[in-house]
Structure 1
Amino acid sequence: MTEPLIELKGVSKSFGNNKVLDNVDLTIYRGEALGIIGPSGTGKSTILRVIAGLTNPDEGEIYVQGVRREGLIEDSADPIGIGMVFQQAALFDSLNVDENVGFLLYQNSKLARSQIQELVKEKLDMVGLPGIGHLYPSELSGGMRKRVSFARAIMSNPENPKEGPEVLLYDEPTAGLDPIASTVIEDLIRDLQSMHGVCSTYAIVTHQDSTIRRTADRLVFLYQGRVQWQGTVSEMDSTDHPLIRQFMSGSVQGPIQVVG
């Protein structure tokens, strides 16, 4: 872990008068599992959107494999693929699972429909959901919808393999799930990292203790738009840092201001 795969330097972002990110430096290294944690409203999801090229920072620089990104993801192709799994799965309700998972290929590739369906089947098998391509999102449980969104995020075009995602960004992937469904998702995140040919690098935003411990190796703690602490999961348990201690204990007493 010497040269960053993705690097943010001095990134700031405001929405109106609300400064969500304030001079943030952040690195993601190839092969690592980075957890981005902190209280609600501290810029965690915004950082993912900046990394994905969906949101432009007001200030700062983004480097992807050493190449400075100019503009948003549609303005110029990154040297690596970056996929994102949104908090609410973000599936198209009017499309079935097959059409959701294969959406980009159906829209933008020259592959035959039968080829795309085979690729969709392969990805659904990877996420433990064989034989559900004909179902619609309304017919799926919350955990199943999350896994379908994973299958869509790892879809790639065999005609342009470089467009496939090398990095996955997960925004609260276990939010709203029961403990058993959360465990299934946490195991899947690790399984996708270890599978040959699937994304070996990821960053995950989460508040959930089990998800932090089961899916992250290195942690970045954000508060008031700034990186306040970095370390491993084991260091999180042993540090005396007051922000970490309050956050992990869930106490209302401490330096983190309780809103409302």
Structure 2
Amino acid sequence: MSVSEVNLIVPPSPYDKEEPLLELKGISKQFGSNQVLDNVDLTVMPGEAVALIGPSGTGKSTILRIVAGLLAPDSGDIFVTGQQRQGLIEDAKDPINIGMVFQQAALFDSLTVQENVGFSLYQNSSLPDAEIRELTKEALAMVGLPNICDRYPAELSGGMRKRVSFARAVIANPQENTPKPTLLLYDEPTAGLDPIASTVIEDLIRNIHSNRGCSTYLIVTHQDSTIRRTADRVVMLHKGSIQWMGPVSEIDTTPNPYVRQFFNAATDGPIRVAN
């Protein structure tokens, strides 16, 4: 079997009769002479947990920023619940809430935990301070961090900062009364954490996915345990293109050479290692 014959394996989707939550069609992005994404097509159905994997610099985080509306593609179309997005997130509101958990937590050092978690409500709602404080307490309790509202990020461990960023991503505005599906985007949520802290974060992601109404997410990760414990479907990227996609259950059996090399940590294969 040639590389081209196994280059892309797309399993039947259990969501074929539903409307996609997210569709990327022909997405390309170039920075200078570096073609980061090259005509990428990706569909995410309601309730899916999708891991974006591949070597560093192959466009995974760029996809997240494009989906979040923080970065515009050079070409291609983005559809959210069937509606085509025009411009960036500040140009027009998406029909669903999209939250993002950044790789380094991206907390404001000069703000307390409570002010970090409630930041979007302070900026974008007319809620009184007392109500925002109660909502932030609820969000922090959800991620297992009660009673830390008045601490500052510098007083927290790396794992705690990650969980604070989760609370910020999922906090809800009660003034928005229309129920909306939610898409969460995780950029390397377990990067730099020890195995025990990683397990805590992985369990939290699954808990949010299963029990907290944030039923759909995309997660960028290099960590084997995070891929296996948090994702249902895997999308493998290399040089800006999708080389394979399939369920987590097939990552140990697929003959795809990119997947085999990635999970075996081999230096020989189609993924060339930079010297």
TM category (shorter chain) comes to over 0.9
Whether 1:13 aligns to 2:51 is: no
Change (3 A) 1:90 1:165: farther
In the other structure, the counterpart of 2:257 is 242
In the other structure, the counterpart of 1:167 is 183
Looking at structure 2, the residues matched to 165 and 51 of structure 1 have their Cα atoms a distance apart, in angstroms, of 15
1:213-232 matches, within 5 Å, as 213-232=228-247
- Cα shift at 1:163: 8.8
Deviations 1:85-135 (A, max 9, x none): 000000000000000000111122111111000000000000000000010
Looking at structure 2, the residues matched to 242 and 230 of structure 1 have their Cα atoms a distance apart, in angstroms, of 13
Change (3 A) 1:205 1:186: same
User: Match of 2:27, as an amino acid?
Assistant: V
In the other structure, the counterpart of 2:143 is 127
Looking at structure 2, the residues matched to 29 and 161 of structure 1 have their Cα atoms a distance apart, in angstroms, of 24
Deviations 1:20-64 (A, max 9, x none): 000000011101100100000000000001111111000000000
Whether 1:50 aligns to 2:92 is: no
Scaled by the length of structure 2, what TM-score is found? 0.92
Which ranges of structure 2 fall in alignment gaps of 5 or more residues? 1-14
Looking at structure 2, the residues matched to 164 and 4 of structure 1 have their Cα atoms a distance apart, in angstroms, of 14
Contact 1:155 1:164 in 2 (8 A): no
Whether 1:60 aligns to 2:73 is: no
Looking at structure 1, the residues matched to 255 and 196 of structure 2 have their Cα atoms a distance apart, in angstroms, of 31
RMSD: 1.1
Contact 1:154 1:164 in 2 (8 A): no
Looking at structure 1, the residues matched to 127 and 210 of structure 2 have their Cα atoms a distance apart, in angstroms, of 28
- Cα shift at 1:234: 1.2
In the other structure, the counterpart of 1:207 is 222
Q: Which runs of 4+ in 1 moved over 3 A?
A: 161-165
In the other structure, the counterpart of 1:193 is 209
Deviations 1:136-160 (A, max 9, x none): 0000000000000000000121001
Deviations 1:215-247 (A, max 9, x none): 000010000100000001111110111111100
Looking at structure 2, the residues matched to 162 and 32 of structure 1 have their Cα atoms a distance apart, in angstroms, of 22
User: Match of 2:270, as an amino acid?
Assistant: P
Which ranges of structure 1 fall in alignment gaps of 5 or more residues? none
Correspondent of 1:109 among 108, 125, 142: 125
User: Match of 1:124, as an amino acid?
Assistant: L
Scaled by the length of structure 1, what TM-score is found? 0.98
Contact 2:107 2:153 in 1 (8 A): yes
- Cα shift at 1:161: 4.1
Change (3 A) 1:37 1:51: same
Contact 1:81 1:163 in 2 (8 A): no
Correspondent of 1:90 among 101, 106, 121: 106
Contact 1:81 1:162 in 2 (8 A): no
Contact 1:106 1:116 in 2 (8 A): yes
Looking at structure 2, the residues matched to 228 and 82 of structure 1 have their Cα atoms a distance apart, in angstroms, of 26
Contact 1:84 1:153 in 2 (8 A): yes
Whether 1:138 aligns to 2:154 is: yes
Whether 1:100 aligns to 2:109 is: no
With 163-172 and 202-211 compared, the bigger mean Cα shift is at 163-172
In the other structure, the counterpart of 2:6 is none
